[in-house]
């Protein structure tokens, strides 16, 4: 009875280890990264305000709008990718390939009007994506 239990434990451990190994391997080989951003009210419009990815990665921004107004969210440097309009308390997504090295601003296009009317510096309402080689 003891040897049957030991064999069962060894088999279970091997199955679990194989499954965990597959998950880590498959995530590593997909070359994808997800950046979660909260777009909110107040002086800190994006959280986080920076993100870093590697050249060639397939990048998905998942943007939650915590503001009471609808907003768009975009990065013009990568073919003007945008989430489209994200309603209040909703989430928008955009996906692109990080095909150039550098630091690129992300923004909420509705912020330009707000900046002008409220007298804020445009840097207050931007975040940046850094793509490393």
CA distance 96 to 79: 9
The pLDDT score that the predictor gives to residue 62 is 97
Quick: pLDDT tens for 79-103.
878 898 899 999 999 999 999 999 9
CA distance 58 to 27: 12
Model-level pTM? 0.67
Residue 23 tokens read as 């998950």
- Using DSSP bridges, classify how beta strands 58-65 and 91-97 pair: parallel, antiparallel or unpaired: antiparallel
Q: Does domain 32-132 have CATH number 2.40.160.20?
A: no
Residue 42 tokens read as 């107040």
Strand, helix or coil for residue 116: helix
């Amino acid at each position: 009875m003891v040897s049957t239990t030991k064999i069962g434990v060894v088999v279970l451990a091997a199955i679990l280890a194989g499954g965990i190994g597959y998950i880590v391997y498959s995530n590593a080989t997909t070359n994808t990264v997800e950046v979660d951003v909260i777009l909110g009210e107040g002086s800190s419009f994006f959280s986080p305000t920076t993100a870093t990815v590697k050249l060639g990665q397939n990048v998905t921004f998942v943007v939650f709008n915590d503001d009471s107004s609808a907003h768009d969210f975009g990065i013009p440097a990568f073919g003007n990718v945008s989430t489209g309009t994200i309603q209040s308390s909703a989430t928008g997504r955009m996906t692109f390939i990080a095909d150039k090295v550098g630091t690129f601003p992300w923004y909420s296009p509705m912020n330009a009007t707000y900046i002008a009317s409220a007298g804020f510096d445009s840097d207050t309402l931007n975040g940046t994506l850094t793509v490393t080689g």
